[in-house]
Amino acid sequence: MPFAVWHVLARPARPRPADLSRRNLLRAGAVIAAAGAGYAASEVAVRATRLPGAARRFTGSYEAGSFDPDLMPVSSWMFDAVPEVDPSGWSLRVVTPGGIRDWTYAELERFDDRRRAVLDCTGGFWSEQDWTGVLLSRLVPDAAGAVSVRVVSHTGYDRRFAVAELPDLLLAVRLGDQPLSADHGAPARLVAPDRRGFWWVKWVRAVELDDLPTWWQPPFPLQ
């Protein structure tokens, strides 16, 4: 992308009336249609012949370790290292317009909200697992006046969600029937069903409500 931007700025080209001619538009449309048809045909062929690619999810990811936490791959965004966080001294800070509340690990462990969800990682795998913890809507029963909720990791990584998604977001402390391991996000990680893996914030330390819109963040995290 930086090279493409540099090329456009260094070699500007003025559009010509002929660039938007009917012939060029039809030609571009034909190329796009042919490319789409070729891709669809290749996908049909792969599935019909049961080649390895037939096992891919629609995102292109391959299944790995579903319902077996010991076999689920470990991944982190970019350069995030696995922090060692002692649950006994850890707490979750929940910031709302009404004030601040710190939840201990022991308090969160008493909840038993469950979600079966697919973690589809941009690294190329997907895994369906059972997660247990507490729904964010329980931790933030009154979100009046807030527009979004920001979930922050110990590493500084964060993602922002619409307040309307609170009932769907789970702060998990267990994977399967076992407490989360450090590499899977202990003491607590976010489970965001129907979102790619980079939305599933690990090692969560804070949940913050505010009036910023959900688009007030890069489409993909920058750190």
Which residue's structure tokens are 């989360």? 180
d(CA 17, CA 24): 11
Regarding whether 204 and 115 lie in a shared domain, the answer is yes
d(CA 158, CA 161): 10
d(CA 92, CA 86): 13
Q: Show the DSSP H helices in 78-195 as ranges.
A: 105-109, 136-139
Output the pTM of the full model: 0.80
Would you say residue 28 lies in a domain? yes
Q: What are 45-67's pLDDT values in tens digits?
A: 877 777 767 778 989 999 999 99
Regarding whether 24 and 112 lie in a shared domain, the answer is no
Regarding whether 93 and 153 lie in a shared domain, the answer is yes
Regarding whether 126 and 163 lie in a shared domain, the answer is yes
Regarding whether 67 and 20 lie in a shared domain, the answer is no
Would you say residue 156 lies in a domain? yes
At residue 19, the pLDDT reads 73
Would you say residue 187 lies in a domain? yes
Regarding whether 7 and 82 lie in a shared domain, the answer is no
Regarding whether 191 and 102 lie in a shared domain, the answer is yes
CB 119 within 8 A of CB 65: no
Would you say residue 80 lies in a domain? yes
Which residue's structure tokens are 């998604």? 165
Regarding whether 74 and 32 lie in a shared domain, the answer is no
Q: What are 167-218's pLDDT values in tens digits?
A: 999 999 999 989 999 999 999 999 999 999 999 999 999 999 999 999 999 8
Domain that holds residue 167: 63-210
Regarding whether 83 and 21 lie in a shared domain, the answer is no
CB 23 within 8 A of CB 86: no
Regarding whether 149 and 203 lie in a shared domain, the answer is yes
Q: What are 102-134's pLDDT values in tens digits?
A: 999 999 999 999 999 999 998 899 999 999 999
Regarding whether 138 and 44 lie in a shared domain, the answer is no
Considering the chain, what percentage of its residues have pLDDT values greater than 90? 65
Whichever domain contains 106, its CATH number is 3.90.420.10
Number of independent structural domains in the chain: 2
